[in-house]
Amino acid sequence: MNDSGVIQTAVAAIVIFLLLVVFHEFGHFWVAKRVGIFVREFAVGFGPKVFSRKWGETVYSVRALPLGGFVNMAGEGPEDFAFEPGKTVAVKLDADGRVEALGDPRSIRHADLVGRLRTGPSREDYALRIETGDEVRRYPLGPAAVLYADNAAMSLAPYDRQFLGKPVWARAATIFAGPLMNFVLAAVIFAVYFTVAGVPSGPDVAKVLPGSPALRAGLQPGDHIAAVDGEPVGSWDQLVKAVQSRADQRVVLDVVRGGQRFQVAVSPEIRGGVGVIGVSPALVHNPIASVWLGVKQTWDISVQIVAAFGRMISGTLAPEVAGPVGIVAMIGEQTKQGLMNLLTLTALLSINLGIINLLPIPALDGSRLMFLLVEAVRGRPVDPQKESMVHLVGFALLMVIVVLVTYKDVTRLF
């Protein structure tokens, strides 16, 4: 691959990865806002901030490494780490005597008081109790209170605005929205694809491939296929499904040509595990039909992927997994084939990302949904510290798997 090809592949890979992850995170972000969770930051990329601006209560930022993004929601994990009893804190108060800023005495300039923290904010009481001298006083946290810790500022949120403070249904909706947006993205991409390329007008043949079973059977462009083995077909999709289910069998087609109806026999070939006869449809440009077909294509492919996962688990299908290197290689190949092929690959990757994130694997959205299901059944949440440990261990194992798959991708390439 020449230099221009490498650059083209790199740009395409970055754009696709950004698109997939940002859409996923936007799903979390949008629903979190709808259910009232305090969102501190919506970031595109990782690493140091290149640009940031605060709209409302949320900081929107672009970061230096364009390889994804994240949403920082208040209370995704326990936030009491910053309120250790006995810690010395400096506090700055607003005009109403509420805490405006707190943190290490070295981080708060012109503090109104310095004392020992006795208790942090609780679910019922959004206030601090601080010991100064011989007395302990209660200081409510203001609506825009900021905690300064480890050279960083973090906006605090009352418990009812934190992720952990929301009911199970609101947290589940927020988590599920990420994978859901990957399916939405795929449907949109397919809709664009079909809007440009066209959608089948019906079971009408536009092209017969050379050397195909259809050519040997005498099918011609312009033929209308009315039935398969006596079963009427009213759309190209029905025709495809009827032929695919009859792989390597003799099939009788009812064909209409020039106002005359007759029958031809054809034996579909097996390609990719399904039957094909080697014909392509007549296409029309219909935006409304394209949207519906985009949704249907997303659903059909999702079902096929889930079925393939099931066969891999049962051992009837050999596992075939690609890591980041393998995906970039695929993107490079499809970039050579043109934009439409690249769009199709992007939609497929988005569907895969959505499905994988819904699997009950620690550190993924599916695992978090499983913990919420347990909470809903037992009536109380799992200890957040224990859940965090499960996700941490799961993330470590995922990283090991990614390294192994990447090694396999590299050895396959070279």
Residue range 22-66, pLDDT digits in tens:
999 999 999 999 999 999 999 999 889 999 998 988 999 999 988
Residue range 276-296, pLDDT digits in tens:
888 888 888 888 889 998 999
Cα–Cα distance for residue pair 182/188, rounded to 1 Å: 10
Question: The tokens of 272 are what?
Answer: 């990719």
Residue range 82-106, pLDDT digits in tens:
677 888 888 999 988 898 988 888 8
Active site residue 25: yes
Residue range 296-329, pLDDT digits in tens:
989 988 988 888 777 767 666 555 655 455 555 5
Residue range 104-157, pLDDT digits in tens:
888 888 888 888 888 877 777 788 888 888 889 889 888 778 888 766 778 888
Instruction: Please state whether beta strands 127-132 and 135-149 pair in parallel, antiparallel, or not at all (unpaired).
Output: antiparallel
> Residue 247 contacts by C-beta under 8 Å, 6 or more apart in sequence?
268, 269, 270, 273, 274, 275
pLDDT computed for residue 401 by the predictor: 62
Cα–Cα distance for residue pair 88/104, rounded to 1 Å: 7
List helix spans (H) across 2-121. Answer: 3-34
- Burial class of residue 286 (count of CB atoms within 10 Å of its CB; 0-12, 13-18, 19+): middle
Instruction: Please state whether beta strands 88-93 and 231-232 pair in parallel, antiparallel, or not at all (unpaired).
Output: unpaired
pLDDT computed for residue 409 by the predictor: 47
176 pLDDT band, cuts 50/70/90, is very high
Given the residues 25, 41, 79, 100, the one annotated as active site: 25
CA angle 331-335-340, nearest 5°? Answer: 105
Which residue, 297, 251, 258, is CA-closest to 277?
A: 251
